Structures are given as structure tokens and as C-alpha cells.
Structure 1
Amino acid sequence: MAKLSADERKKLDKSAFAFPKEEKEPLENASHVRNAIARFKQVKGVSDSERDAAWKRIKSAAKKFNVEVTEKSWRDIGKD
């Protein structure tokens, strides 16, 4: 995954994050989108409604960067 430096991360608009209020899980490229999905359930201190909104942002970014998302909902992450 492409790492963001602290300065690069600070320059991102809040809308560039899956969780904008917390500035967690940037969605700047395909690698970041895949990482946001993988780490989604590790994000602490957010409500289910915030997770729902973050999932919508992730799915939108996934479409933009041609990342396949097989889960219909964030609740399906990790289920086989």
C-alpha cells in the first residue's frame, strides 16, 4: 500500500477519508480502498450509522478505482 506521510495526510480534505470526522482510512487510491475494507472493523469509537456512511464512501471509491467489493454490507466483512 502506498504510505501517506503525516504532511500528505494533513493536506487531505476530510471527504477523502472513509471516516472523515476521525480522519481514518484514507481513500486516495485502490490500495487505500482495499486497506480500508480490510481494517474497517478495527476502527473504534464510531457508531453503526457512521459505519454505514463510511461503507458508502468506500463503495464509491472502490468503483472509482476499479476495486472489486464482494460484500454487500460492512457487516459481511470477514464472513465466508
Structure 2
Amino acid sequence: MSELDTKHRNALPAGEFAFSRQRKLPLEDASHVRNAVARFNQVGEVSDDERDHAWSRIQSAARKFGVAISEKSWRELGKG
């Protein structure tokens, strides 16, 4: 995964993050998408609605970068 330095991360628009309001889990390449899936449940203090929106952004980014995600919902993470 390409590491984002603070300057680059701060320059990303909010829509480039799974959790845009919190600016958590950037989705700028395939590696970041895989990382976002792996760390999804580590993001705290967000509502289920925010998780639904974040998961939708992750799925969209996964399609864009050719990343296979077997889970259909964030609720399936860690269950199999």
C-alpha cells in the first residue's frame, strides 16, 4: 500500500474516504481499498447509517480498482 503523508492525506477530498465526515479509511487505490475492508470495524463512534454509506463507497472503489470483496454487507465482516 502506498503510504499517504499528512500533506497528501489532507489534500484528498472528503469523498475519497470511506467515512467522509471523519476522514477515515482513504480509498485512493486497490491497496487502500483492501485496507479499508480489513480495518472497517475498527472505526468507532459512527452510526449504522454512516457504516452503510461507507460500505457503499468501499464497494464502489473496489469495482473501480478491481478488488474482490466477498462480503455483501459490512455486517458480514469477520463472520466467515
**TM norm. shorter chain > 0.5:** yes
Residue 18 of structure 1 aligns to a residue in which SS?
A: strand
* Structure 2 unaligned blocks of 5 or more: none
What is residue 23 of structure 2 aligned with on the other side? 23
Letter in 1 for 2:28: E
Query: Take 2:5 and 2:32, find their aligned partners in 1: how far apart are those partners?
Result: 13
Q: Distance in 1 between matches of 2:14 and 2:70?
A: 26
Aligned residue type for 1:9: R
Q: CA deviation at 1:16?
A: 0.2
Equivalence for 1:41: 41
Alignment TM-score, normalising by the size of structure 1:
0.99
TM-score (norm 2): 0.99
Which residues in structure 2 correspond to 1:1-80 (within 5 Å)?
Answer: 1-80=1-80
Q: Identity, % of aligned pairs?
A: 57
Deviation at 1:79, TM superposition (A): 1.0
**What is the number of residues matched between the two proteins?**
80
- Following TM superposition, by how much is the alpha carbon of 1:71 offset from its aligned partner in structure 2, in angstroms? 0.1
Root-mean-square deviation over aligned CA pairs = 0.4
For 2:69, the aligned partner's letter is: V
Runs (4+) of structure 1 moved beyond 4 Å? none
Paired residue type of 1:33 = V
